[in-house]
Structure 1
Amino acid sequence: MIEIIQSHDLTPDAAHAAARQVADKLARELGLTCRWQGDVLRFSKSGVDGTLTLAAAEARMQIRLGFLYGAFASTIRAKVAEKMRKVFVPEADTH
């Protein structure tokens, strides 16, 4: 399982917009289906499923990979962590 926790100081609406950017990237690159349930974005497809949970000061991504995707876990972790950092802490890009 991949777990990434990204702190943020975004408003709830901005956090949802940031989460949508992360979900859109995952959907494009891995062909995932995404749906919101309150403050939890659930995504899945054969061999991959997980959640992106929004809280007041953090976003927590949990991804479960099946056997075929397991070999790419470190690459997937790095790409998702980078995207989350960029969208949840936008000023980090300017330094």
Structure 2
Amino acid sequence: MSHIDIHHPHSKSPSQARKAVEDVARKLAERFEMSYEWQGDTLNFNRSGVEGHIALLPKALHVTARLGFLLSVMKGPIESEIRRVLDEKFD
């Protein structure tokens, strides 16, 4: 099993950050049949082969994910795409 662990700084207000994370989660849910739910300030997401969390911190996001065996071979491209989206939405 592979792990992704990303800390990404941001300057958004808590409500702006939550809305941006929600927008990304909604798109991923539609595109990849992923389910997600909020638990406090943490968005939990999963689908077959991946399970993770996005924690909203005051000035940063903390993204963690566990990739199953089949997706672990694509860890590099998956992590790069997460970083690209974070740069786009939280820059």
Inter-CA distance 80–50: structure 2 relative to 1 (3 Å threshold): same
Aligned to 2:6: 4
**CA shift digits 1:10-54 (9 cap, x unpaired):** 111100011112323432343210100010000011210000000
How many angstroms apart in 2 are the aligned matches of 1:28 and 1:4?
A: 23
- Structure with more helix by fraction: 1
How many angstroms apart in 2 are the aligned matches of 1:21 and 1:63?
A: 18
Q: Does 1:48 align with 2:50?
A: yes
The CA RMSD measured in Å over matched residues stands at 1.1
Q: Work out whether residues 9 and 57 of structure 1, in 8 Å CA contact, stay in contact via their aligned partners in 2.
A: yes
How many angstroms apart in 1 are the aligned matches of 2:62 and 2:4?
A: 10
How many angstroms apart in 1 are the aligned matches of 2:37 and 2:56?
A: 14
In structure 2, the gaps of 5 or more residues are none
How many angstroms apart in 1 are the aligned matches of 2:23 and 2:87?
A: 12
Q: TM-score, normalised by structure 1?
A: 0.87
- Runs of 4+ that moved beyond 6 A: none
In structure 1, the gaps of 5 or more residues are 90-95
- Structure with more strand by fraction: 2
Aligned to 2:71: 69
**CA shift digits 1:51-90 (9 cap, x unpaired):** 000000000110100001111111100001110111111x
How many residues end up aligned between the 2 structures? 89
- Counterpart secondary structure, 1:28: helix
Aligned to 2:86: 84
